[in-house]
């Protein structure tokens, strides 16, 4: 489960984890990662987007960063994946984990 460190996202992650542990405590391991290198109060810079290019394939990109003619929007969201550490490939994940 990945968040950007936004307190609202951390609260969502807390609720999800609490319920997950009640429903499936031993079936699958749940890991939490905070992608704090991705901003939550402003649009990411070109460099920040470039450094996390592989990550934009997720649906969360549409919640985390949305820019239209009315300006920048960001909605709290957590990314759930069963392939987090292997997302795209280990090299990209190692870069992502290092950037967090």
Whether residue 66 contacts residue 72, with contact meaning beta carbons closer than 8 Å, is answered with yes
Domain range spanning residue 70?
2-99
Predicted local distance difference test score (pLDDT) of residue 97: 45
What's the token pair of residue 21? 């542990």
Helices (H), the chain: 7-23, 46-51, 60-64, 90-99
Predicted local distance difference test score (pLDDT) of residue 4: 85
Q: Which residue has the tokens 């960063």?
A: 65
**Residue 89 predicted with pLDDT over 70:** no
Query: What is the chain's mean pLDDT, rounded?
Result: 75
What's the token pair of residue 14? 């807390």
Rounded to whole angstroms, how far apart are CA atoms 34 and 97? 9
Number of domains in the chain: 1
pTM exceeds 0.85: no
């Amino acid at each position: 489960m990945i968040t950007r460190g936004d307190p609202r996202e951390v609260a969502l992650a807390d609720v999800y984890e609490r319920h997950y542990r009640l429903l499936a405590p031993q079936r699958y391991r749940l890991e939490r990662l905070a992608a704090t290198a991705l901003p939550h109060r402003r649009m990411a810079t070109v460099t920040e987007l470039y450094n996390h290019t592989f990550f934009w394939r997720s649906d969360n990109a549409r919640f985390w960063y949305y820019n239209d003619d009315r300006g920048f929007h960001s909605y709290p969201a957590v990314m759930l994946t069963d392939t987090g550490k292997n997302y795209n490939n280990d090299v990209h994940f190692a870069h992502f984990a290092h950037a967090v």
